[in-house]
Structure 1
Amino acid sequence: MSPRKAMSVGMVFALIFTIVLMAFVILFGWDAVTRLLCFGENSKVQKSIDQIKDLVENHVYPKSKGFSEIYELNVPEGTRFCFVNSTDPRPNILGNWEPDTIYQNMIKENKYTLWVKHCGGQSGYRIDHLYIPPDRNFCVKTGARLYFENHGRYVTVEVMAD
């Protein structure tokens, strides 16, 4: 019969220390890991914001009244793009726009016409010449087809039905 060897006391303490250290890394490092994962998503969101801003300000608005463009929103799952009236961002349940009062005030103060809910939080953007009627504030998710139309003094946006 072979004699059984017991685990040394030093080895037991090393295992306990390793388990505790791993728990701390997971517990306190989780925020850093999620921020790292959000970085790629946020860059894709920013690219879409820049494309929409360029489309409205440089492609649709300078053209003649009645000119239109279609843009397909390609952002990560869970991201919402909300097009809102900068002076009256009232809720619109039919358009999926139900903002918090604090965000409504931020939109009014900064004259945002685009509000984005993404992995890293929420943020607003001002797109010159974009006008959304107050009763038509709305939000869309990835895959939505947006119809931008020049109305002379401003550009409007609507969701195209599939």
Structure 2
Amino acid sequence: MVERIFEQILENRGISKENREAFLKPDYDNQHDPFLLPDMEKAVERLLVAHKNQEKVTVYGDYDVDGVSASTVILTAFESFGFKNVDYFLPDRFKDGYGMNERGVKILAERGTNLILTVDCGSLNHTEIDFAKGFGIDTIVTDHHNIAEVQPNAVAVVN
């Protein structure tokens, strides 16, 4: 039964029987160049400065499953890259709703955050990113949601 469900999930995602092996056991040497994503170079440059200067970097996720998962992956990566001053923030779904919000930005300012890295949010948070700038906090947006015609005023928007 589980095998049939799994096969249906793969099929629903357009993964043919011929491509399943490559999908389930990827060759990590044969991946797309991440620098083809918009603003990736700007994001990496800003993260390198933060690492060098031991700035406080806060991962700002969303409370849903992809936001929590992405936050965990990024925090683990930062640890493996030797970032020493890293924090995270996941909004309260009842108080804050989805995405960035001013309450969260205020909390991060009080915690001494220098750089926010959003995961799974931020593409539509123009006001909140400008609000963070008022505290001297830079923002890098990483998201997968639809973006507005006008990008937020972030250091980088990787979407």
TM over 0.5: no
* More relative contact order, 1 or 2 (CA 8 Å, 6+ apart): 1
Structure with more strand by fraction: 1
Question: Could you say which structure has the larger radius of gyration?
Answer: 1
User: TM class by shorter-chain length?
Assistant: under 0.3
- TM-score of the pair, normalised by structure 2: 0.26
- TM-score of the pair, normalised by structure 1: 0.26
